[in-house]
Structure 1
Amino acid sequence: MPLQAREELMGHIRLGTLPRSKKWREVVDLIATDTSVEEIAEAAADASESDLALASRDPRFQFVSDLLVRLPLLARAPGFEDALADLGIATSELSYSDRLAGRFGSCR
């Protein structure tokens, strides 16, 4: 049976236009050289500061950021599926492999 193309977009396609500010161009230039990881990280943090300030007011960004912090902690504790349900993540119809792949269903 031949493989069929999936309709889902990859993350890099969903991203849209990458930032083209002077600060981000400087980050790209640093990556192209033998600059240390610490210096590149510092430049990237500086370049993303205003975008993160805007994103911090976005309820979707707040929800996802909260999940990134809470999910590992919840996964270590008993009652993980109940905790996911409390967060509005439906897991009842998902297989174990779906959960590993990150297909959590709908989030409120």
Structure 2
Amino acid sequence: MSCLFCRSYYVYSKIEKEDPKEMQHRRTHFLIYKSLKKSDSLSQPTWLKVKISKLKIKIGGKLNKMRKSILLIFSSTKVVAFKQFISQLRHLFKSRHATVTLPPKFT
């Protein structure tokens, strides 16, 4: 029993020198494992990401529909305004022709 206490604490056993190729091999395995684990965590979408992407699609569709309706309103407004402008010009020119065709008063 006294032999057990003869050894000092914190004594490390000597490790044999490791082959450099073996060290490289272990490091490569570790890096491969690490990259595979990272890619697995990235490829699995969470429920929150799925919900957000669905919400983005929904909002995008609504915005696109709203943009088209606004463009339609503006184009129809332009057509109406253009027609009113043309009718006003026609009315103006018709009234001018009417005044021009009148006989002179001082003859």
Alignment TM class, shorter chain as reference: under 0.3
The structure whose Rg is larger is: 2
Higher-RCO chain (CA-CA 8 Å, sequence separation at least 6): 1
Higher helix share: 2
Compute the TM-score of the two structures, normalised by the length of structure 1. Answer: 0.20
